[in-house]
Amino acid sequence: MMPEIQTFAAGSTWAAACAERLTDALSDAMAANGRATFAGSGGSTPAPIYRLMSETDLDWTAVAVTLVDERNVPETDEQSNARLLKQTLLADRAAVARYVPLYHPAVTVDRAAAMATVALRPEGRLDAVLLGMGEDGHICSMFPDSPTLKTLLSPDLNPAVLGVPVGREGRPPSLERLSINLPYLIQAGRVVLALTGARKRAVFEQQAAGDPAVTPIAALIAHGVPLEVLWTETAP
């Protein structure tokens, strides 16, 4: 069943609603288990959400923070998602949270992905996840036509981080990437998909009816990911 698209007239209320849902999930996990794990996206859309989250009065010392995907570049690179995360979320009250990187210096991106999988394993399930979506319908680094797409969308594997190669014949991604797989999202406590603009809303509605084996949005819905879709016309 396609999830309801929750619509917000103002970008500020949209960002606040996203932040509230995510921090509530972290708070609930800490109350139940004494700890919590958050995974966030890169790009420009999450920045206002992260800033609001960072101001929230949680016990951030009990929170592990990671990413749903990352470019295979060090944090000093301007294209690093970790760099964005540290500038926006891991600041203010959330500065004391523990960061678990996906990027690891390694000979190959697949080796880096294996190292990230080992590093994330002790954190258990993801209690709160913030996803974005590209205009081609990709989430995380699950790109159309990527040779790793079907593996990333396989629901029967263990939660893991996989290497994603550069796209063929000029297709995205333009850099090697690291991405969590669908099983991580299936087992998550709460997943917020933050969308902005009429174009992305239309793409979401189209992708929701796609083949779950090769369409990330359809896979989220088909496999029961605890998905909440929050949309606004213009981001704050």
Assess contact for 63 and 35: CB atoms under 8 A: yes
Both tokens of 156, joined, read 């029967």
Judged against a pLDDT cut of 90, whether residue 16 lies above it is answered with: yes
pLDDT digit string, tens, across residues 138-150? 999 999 989 999 9
Per-domain residue ranges of the chain: 5-232
Single-letter residue type at 163 = G
pLDDT at residue number 10: 96
CATH of 5-232, one of 3.40.630.30, 3.90.105.10, 3.40.50.1360, 2.30.30.90: 3.40.50.1360
The pTM of the full predicted model, rounded to 2 decimals, is: 0.97
Single-letter residue type at 208 = A
Confidence label for 168 from pLDDT (cuts 50, 70 and 90): confident
| Mean per-residue pLDDT, 200-209 | 97
pLDDT digit string, tens, across residues 36-92? 999 999 988 899 999 999 999 999 999 999 999 999 999 999 999 999 999 999 999
Judged against a pLDDT cut of 90, whether residue 187 lies above it is answered with: yes
Single-letter residue type at 138 = H
| C-alpha Rg value of the chain to the nearest Å | 16
Both tokens of 51, joined, read 């800033």
Judged against a pLDDT cut of 80, whether residue 200 lies above it is answered with: yes
Q: How many CB atoms are located within 10 Å of the residue 204 CB?
A: 19
Q: How far is CA 18 from CA 6, 32, 63, 230, in A?
A: 11, 22, 18, 7
Angle at 123 between CA 119 and CA 127, to 5 degrees: 135
Assess contact for 166 and 172: CB atoms under 8 A: no
Confidence label for 17 from pLDDT (cuts 50, 70 and 90): very high
Measured distance CA(161)–CA(121) in Å, rounded: 10
Q: How many CB atoms are located within 10 Å of the residue 232 CB?
A: 23
